Amino acid sequence: MISACVWLLFLATVAGCGEHGPEIVGFSGPTMGTQYHIRVIAGETTPDAPELQARVDQRLVEINRRMSTYDPESELSRFNTSESDDWFEVSAETAEVVSYSLGLARDSGGAFDPTVGPVVNLWGFGPGKRRTKPPTDDEVEAALARVGHTKVEARVEPPALRKSPGVYVDLSAVAKGYGVDAVARLLDNAGATAYMVEIGGEVRTRGTKPGGAPWRIGVEAPSDHAPAEGGQRVNRVVELSGGSVATSGDYRNYFEYEGRRYSHTVDPTTGRPVAHTLATVSVLAESCMEADATATALLVLGPAAGYDWAVERGVAALFVTRQADSDEEGHAHSDEFTTRATAAWDAAQPEAPAEAQSEELP
């Protein structure tokens, strides 16, 4: 499934304290094939940073051991390799995430589909070997025969999953967002008064920085060319004092063959990388899992259908689209982009000043 490949920059102070204000404590570490970054303002009962980080690390390891397809011994991997079509017992949180994913799959007409793993892996964007050229049509059709959200069931109580033979569930497009939410709940329970949690570009916040300023997150401007040294730039600054933002994009993870670029954004309904002009989508939501998964669905739907879907549901979404002529298969590459926001996004995020939008990423 699609990972959130658009980088976000924290424009907040990494750590700061003053004689008359609380301290922002920051720490980071590896998880889910990427990095997490946390900025937190501790409350009276919050443990010190080393203990808090140890708890965060332990929680993220627990989620990986349940939902990672890169760990052959994870709960999800064992479910995927099971040949039984009976109920397979899983943890409550795995059942919750799969159940949510299946609901979004139905609502998006299959644009988001947690069973898309076989075709994603076939195109070289999964745990296996990378590809240097596209698979054959016959290979795509064979993999696509194993895809379909109606081939999986999730039961919340008692928690269990059931699938048709050969079906493979991949939660890559939602697990990072769920991990952010899980860490946020951990910080809430630890007595934190405010925080910003990020995993692989997916962000959730609570409260404000010392002095009352919101957390500021810079969404990177897309580019179809490798950036010059220090050349990543901010497209839009998001200010949050609660809630989440997640971004999905198609321009960082791809391969080229005979002059054409094949993105890791695979359409579950066709089994092939999307070929429209939408470069990135950012979504605001209370839950980071919801923002993460919805951004993926909108990126697959494309600039027109995705925008209409978001407007109909009141989704706060920001679409960044290439301005270029497509080739005969619809592939488009350009460094000219236009931005279009839904009314819900504009209501939540008035456009930031131009000088903030042009600030460079480190």
Give SS3 for 34: strand
- Please check whether residue 224 is in contact with residue 351, taking contact to mean a CB–CB distance below 8 angstroms: no
Helix 288-301 and helix 172-189: axis angle, to 10°?
160
CA gap 135, 76 in Å, rounded: 26
* Spatial CB neighbours of 39, under 8 Å, sequence gap ≥ 6: 10, 12, 14, 15, 24, 25, 26, 195, 196, 215
- The span from the CA of 174 to the CA of 295, in Å, is 10
| Cα Rg of the chain, angstroms | 20
Binding site membership: which residues? Answer: 173, 292, 296
Contact 68, 61 (CB under 8 A): no
Q: How far is CA 351 from CA 185, 219, 235, 345, in A?
A: 30, 12, 11, 10
- DSSP letter, residue 360: B
Closest CA to 333 of 212, 224, 200: 224
Whether residue 30 is preceded by a cis peptide bond, meaning omega within 30 degrees of 0, is no
Give the start-end residues of each E strand in 207-265. Answer: 215-220, 234-240, 242-249, 254-257, 260-263
Annotated binding site for Mg(2+): 173, 292, 296
Instruction: Provide φ and ψ at 64, rounded to 5°.
Output: -60, -40
Burial letters for 228-240: b for 16+ Cβ neighbours within 10 Å, e otherwise?
eeeebbbbbbbbb
